[in-house]
């Protein structure tokens, strides 16, 4: 689940940067502006398609019950990665909105709309990620470091096989 949230937040960050590039290109003239527009729109389109694809597969995994299984060792750290990426996405969305609010011209309404959408989806992703972390923790899927050391102490050591076998 947290890998999905991380992927979603990276997608939102990419979309925010793509929109910034497009709006910058629409407001300026000169060399490489056409290239900036093309790459800006490519980043936005690929980012949106990536978001849709990630969401589709996350829903399929959720229906299949994969999110009800215990977490792999170290996956709890991914919760923190997802949360930090959410904060970065929120920051980029707010930067996009504030930047668009201080400027006028072509592409500014587009920047404001995408900025607020990015902030909204990042906050929803952060809430959802925190919810799943709490549920996993209550079910015992997320082991604390003390719990993990207890597991390691109780493991049965593997017996060495003789080379003749």
Give residue 98's Cα distance to chain centre: 22
Q: Is residue 154 part of a domain?
A: no
Q: How many angstroms separate the CA atoms of 88 and 57, rounded?
A: 24
Question: In a 3-state reduction of DSSP, which class is residue 165?
Answer: coil
User: Is residue 150's pLDDT more than 70?
Assistant: no
Which percentage of the chain shows pLDDT scores above 70?
A: 75
pLDDT band at 155 (very low <50, low <70, confident <90, very high): very low
Residue 98 within a domain: yes
Residue 161: inside a domain, yes or no? Answer: no
pLDDT of amino acid 77: 58
Q: Which residue has the higher pLDDT, 71 or 9?
A: 9
Q: Which residue has the tokens 């979309």?
A: 15
Do residues 20 and 96 lie in contact, with contact meaning Cβ atoms separated by under 8 Å? yes
- With respect to residue 88, please indicate whether it lies within any of the assigned structural domains: yes
Task: With a cut of 50, say whether residue 113 has pLDDT above it.
Answer: yes
Range of the domain at 43: 2-143
Residue 43 lies in a domain: yes
- Mean pLDDT, to the nearest integer, of 95-118? 82
Q: Return the pLDDT at 103.
A: 75
Whether residue 162 is contained in a domain is answered as no
What confidence tens digit (pLDDT) does each residue in 19-63 have?
888 888 888 777 667 877 888 888 888 888 888 888 887 788 778
Does residue 148 lie within any of the structural domains?
no
Domain count of the chain? 1
What's the rounded Cα separation, in Å, for the pair 86 and 114?
16
Residue 55 lies in a domain: yes
């Amino acid at each position: 689940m947290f890998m999905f949230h991380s992927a979603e937040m990276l997608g939102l960050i990419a979309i925010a940067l793509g929109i910034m590039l497009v709006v910058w290109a629409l407001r300026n003239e000169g060399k490489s502006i056409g290239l900036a527009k093309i790459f800006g729109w490519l980043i936005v389109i690929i980012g949106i398609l990536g978001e849709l694809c990630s969401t589709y597969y996350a829903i399929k995994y959720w229906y299949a019950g994969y999110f009800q299984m215990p977490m792999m060792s170290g996956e709890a750290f991914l919760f923190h990665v997802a949360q930090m990426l959410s904060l970065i996405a929120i920051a980029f969305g707010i930067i996009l909105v504030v930047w668009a609010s201080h400027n006028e011209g072509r592409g500014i309404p587009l920047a404001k709309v995408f900025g607020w959408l990015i902030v909204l989806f990042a906050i929803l992703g952060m809430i959802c990620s925190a919810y799943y972390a709490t549920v996993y923790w209550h079910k015992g899927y997320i082991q604390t470091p003390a719990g993990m050391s207890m597991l390691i102490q109780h493991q049965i050591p593997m017996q060495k096989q003789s080379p003749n076998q």
